[in-house]
Amino acid sequence: MLKACQRNLAGIGNIYATEMLFLRGVSPWRSVGDVADLDALVELGRRLLEANKARIGQVTTGDTAPGRRTWVYGRAGQPCRRCGTKISKGEQGDGGEERIRFWCPACQR
Ligand SMILES: [Zn+2]
């Protein structure tokens, strides 16, 4: 994950970090120096957390229906909700749950 996310959003959880990067069109493999508007990314993370305070479970799409709660997280091999491209999945670093990445190769650059 981007170093900035680790620093500014420690504890936010992999699901939010993953979804934020999708919403901002940022590849999880980019280096932090490449992110044009880091403040916007951090702000988005705060809003996602805020929106989920009163909910059971984690929803980032605004749709609480089962199977429609996230944009890319947990959706490897399924079509991107924006463009239809298959969602990719990969691991970063030493593996483990917090290291698993989901992203749309077309929307996230
Ligand atoms: Zn896409």
Residue 99 sits in a domain of what CATH number? 1.10.8.50
Ligand 1 midpoint to CA 25 (Å): 9
Ligand 1 midpoint to CA 74 (Å): 15
Residue-number span of the structural domain to which 33 is assigned: 3-103
Residue 40 maps to a domain: yes
Ligand 1 midpoint to CA 17 (Å): 17
Residue 109 maps to a domain: no
* The three-state (H, E, C) secondary structure of the chain, written as one string: CCHHHHHHCCCCCHHHHHHHHHHCCCCCCCCHHHCCCHHHHHHHHHHHHHHHCCCCCCCCCCCCCCCCCCCCCCCCCCECCCCCCECEEEECCCCCHHHEEEECCCCCC
Model confidence, pTM = 0.78
Ligand 1 midpoint to CA 46 (Å): 23
pLDDT tens per residue, range 74-92: 999 999 999 999 999 998 7
Residue 108 maps to a domain: no
Q: How many domains does the chain have?
A: 1
pLDDT tens per residue, range 3-23: 544 554 555 678 888 999 999
47 vs 89: which has the higher pLDDT = 89
Average pLDDT, the chain: 83
